[in-house]
Amino acid sequence: MEISFSSLLVLSCLLFLQQTNAITVHVVDGIEKNDPQLIYHCASGSDDLGKHYPKFNDDFHFSFKRNIFFETVFFCHFWWGKKDIRFEVYRETGACGHETGGSNKGICYWLVKEDGFYFAINDNPPPSAFVRKFVDGIEKNDPPIKFHCASGNDDLGIHYPKFNDDFHFKFGFNLLRETVFFCHFWWGTKDAVFEVYRDSGNCGAEGGLDSGICYWLIKEDGFYFSPKYNPPASELIRKYGW
């Protein structure tokens, strides 16, 4: 009996897929009064999980297996009164994925609270296990903040974030010349412009080249940096004032 190499390859892939652990994403309503009603809608490029109107402590969760051919991404859009925010609740190389260990444990746990979104990679995590996720950290956002990011080759446009919005972008390393991205920020009468990434400078030489992450948090008193995704407050370094 002869078995071709292609047949063995297909069989190996099928066995790998069967052995791949499932990922479970939890979205838990932690808004006790729930007035106004929290609403959220979760989806991926292939699956629409619909709108949900949870009660306090409701745990909406869904499971899936990682795709070895394409990166898996799920996002959720949340509405709470006049506030709304949309972000990725799972990305293989980002939120909850390898950067935080969620893919290894198979758990992405999101808790929605009055003051933002809290994340953990444990099932039924204790309060000490949560990390508050945000990028625009100016809670009142009055006046509204705006920013414009670009490199020598790419213009990423002007953005008007809401509190907790996470604007992010990716790029590959250039072996022929140094990569540099800058952002210009405006907040009322204040403005600041600086490089958010340079191979030999901001983020690159400060751990970003090793981790693949440049995390900037905008606060009322300035700009905080970490080479980790969803860093605890103790690991954020204030780099610039307004």
Which residue type is seen at 124?
Answer: N
103 backbone dihedrals φ, ψ, rounded to 5°: -65, -30
**pLDDT for 8:** 41
Give the chain's length: 242
Q: Render each residue's pLDDT in the chain as its tens digit; 242 residues.
A: 444 444 444 434 443 344 456 889 999 999 988 889 999 999 988 889 999 999 999 999 999 887 777 778 898 989 988 888 777 888 877 677 765 566 667 888 999 988 778 888 888 888 888 876 655 566 677 788 899 999 888 898 888 888 778 888 888 777 788 889 999 999 989 899 999 988 888 787 777 667 778 899 998 889 999 888 778 888 888 988 88
Model pTM score: 0.54
As a whole number of angstroms, the distance between CA 216 and CA 178 comes to 20
**pLDDT for 7:** 42
**pLDDT for 137:** 61
Question: In what helix (H) or strand (E) does residue 114 lie, and over which residues does it extend?
Answer: none
185: number of Cβ within 10 Å:
19
156: number of Cβ within 10 Å:
14
Contacts of 74 (CB under 8 A, 6+ apart): 25, 42, 43, 44, 47, 62, 64, 88, 89, 90, 91
As a whole number of angstroms, the distance between CA 107 and CA 64 comes to 11
Residues 5-133, CATH architecture: Sandwich (2.60)
89 backbone dihedrals φ, ψ, rounded to 5°: -90, -15
Contacts of 90 (CB under 8 A, 6+ apart): 23, 25, 72, 73, 74, 96, 97, 102, 108
76: number of Cβ within 10 Å:
22
Residue ranges of the domains in the chain? Answer: 5-133, 145-240
Question: In what helix (H) or strand (E) does residue 220 lie, and over which residues does it extend?
Answer: none
